Amino acid sequence: MQLVIVSGLSGSGKSVALSTLEDCGYYCIDNLPVRLIEAFVRETGQNLGKTAISIDCRNLTGDANSFEEILTVLGQFAIPYRILFLIAASDTLIKRYSETRRKHPLSHTQGLPLAEAIERERKLLEPIAARADLILDTTHTNIHQLRESVLQRLGEDKRQLVLCFLSFGFKHGLPLDADFVFDARCLPNPHWEPALRPFTGRDPEVADYLQSLPETAMLLKQIEAFLNTWLPRFGAQNRSYLTIAIGCTGGRHRSVYLAEKLGQRFAGLYSVIVRHRELS
């Protein structure tokens, strides 16, 4: 088990940090009461792998002073941990709350004015801030910069973009979750070859037929070039998942073959999933 404790001021970006770690394969728990950490560790032990727990002021009233005890328990269980603490200037936090029109947690529970709630929260979180291994100031940081900072400071690799190559039939409707749609109906249709009709694009009979056509190689080359050009741009914008749909008339021959081929060609560069909607 490798534990990251994420804490900090409300509005400083804890949710963004936690979602970034989740995209890196962490098992994430938001707003776990401090006194439940020991029970959680006892229950899961070393079996949970990479884990991130978010702690904030909503459950720290009366519990902040017990934080040192929790760290002692983690040491007893030989659980390696790091504490990531996020801060921001008060005027920035006030502006963020004004823009989102949300209430500060302490304004909601204790009826404090926003500025007073922020200062009260700083005081409440001092025991955690004092033990933080990493402190990130998000005053002048946007969401994308914060994600990059979390990954860099925690030594995590950037999230690997997951590509789903999805074959489908146009006569059954467009897939609603597609990010890109490519039309393979320009290729000769194996359906009209009686010997090939019972097979699908995954069968060697259909694959050999389509491979023998120069237009198939041309279409594959052009789709591959397009994706090689633009996929890195989506990765740089912190996209974690893209669906690339390839359609033909019935979704059984041409689109299936192309989805399989593209999946093979991009498997060494990205995490690849190949799905065939009409073969399911």
CA distance 6 to 257: 45
What secondary structure letter does DSSP report for 161? P
Instruction: Compute how many other C-beta atoms are within 10 angstroms of the C-beta atom of residue 251.
Output: 26
Calculate the average pLDDT of the chain: 88
Name the strands in the sheet holding 162-169, side by side, starting at the edge strand that comes first in the sequence: 180-183, 241-248, 162-169, 271-276
Query: What pLDDT, on a 0 to 100 scale, did the predictor assign at position 280?
Result: 73
Mean pLDDT for 32-44 is: 80
Q: Which residues contact 218 (CB under 8 A, 6 or more apart)?
A: none
Is residue 166 a contact partner of residue 244, using CB atoms and an 8 Å limit?
A: yes
DSSP E strands in the chain: the ranges are 2-8, 27-29, 50-55, 81-87, 134-137, 162-169, 180-183, 241-248, 271-276
Tens-digit pLDDT profile for residues 80-107: 889 999 999 999 999 998 888 788 888 7
CA distance 217 to 222: 9
pLDDT at 150 over 90: no
Is residue 10 a contact partner of residue 121, using CB atoms and an 8 Å limit?
A: yes
Residues comprising the chain, all counted: 280
Mean pLDDT for 132-155 is: 85
Q: Which domains does the chain have, with CATH numbers?
A: 2-153 (3.40.50.300), 162-279 (no CATH)
Query: What pLDDT, on a 0 to 100 scale, did the predictor assign at position 62?
Result: 55
Tens-digit pLDDT profile for residues 70-80: 888 888 888 88
Is residue 226 a contact partner of residue 145, using CB atoms and an 8 Å limit?
A: no
Mean pLDDT for 240-265 is: 95
What secondary structure letter does DSSP report for 160? P
What does each C-alpha distance from 63 to 46, 74, 267 come to in angstroms? 25, 16, 48
